[in-house]
């Protein structure tokens, strides 16, 4: 994982997203779900690449991020993405 380039992870995620979209277009929700699970696997490898090699480190990152996302900041986050990216 350490020898991969940063863009390798972006490209891999894009492939996973496309595959999920293709499965959904053919009514294969379960196969699309598998592609999303693969995204989680890619994200874990990306974290390893960044130096987060211990499950406890990853768990703490997730815990802190979940607090940000779930404790009353959802609307502010959605507004930011709307203003900055038109999403």
Per residue in 15-52, pLDDT (tens digit) is 999 999 999 999 999 999 999 999 999 999 999 999 99
Separation between Cα atoms, residue 19 and residue 14, nearest integer Å: 9
Separation between Cα atoms, residue 74 and residue 68, nearest integer Å: 8
Separation between Cα atoms, residue 15 and residue 40, nearest integer Å: 13
Residue 19's φ and ψ, nearest 5 degrees, are -65, -40
Against a cut of 0.85, is the pTM above it? no
Per residue in 75-85, pLDDT (tens digit) is 888 888 899 99
């Amino acid at each position: 994982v350490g020898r991969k380039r940063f863009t390798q992870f972006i490209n891999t995620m894009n492939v996973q997203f496309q595959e999920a979209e293709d499965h959904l277009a053919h009514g294969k929700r379960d196969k699309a779900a598998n592609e999303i699970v693969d995204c989680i696997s890619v994200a874990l490898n990306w974290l390893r690449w960044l130096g987060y090699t211990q499950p406890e480190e990853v768990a703490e990152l997730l815990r802190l991020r979940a607090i940000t996302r779930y404790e009353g900041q959802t609307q502010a986050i959605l507004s930011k993405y709307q203003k900055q990216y038109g999403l």
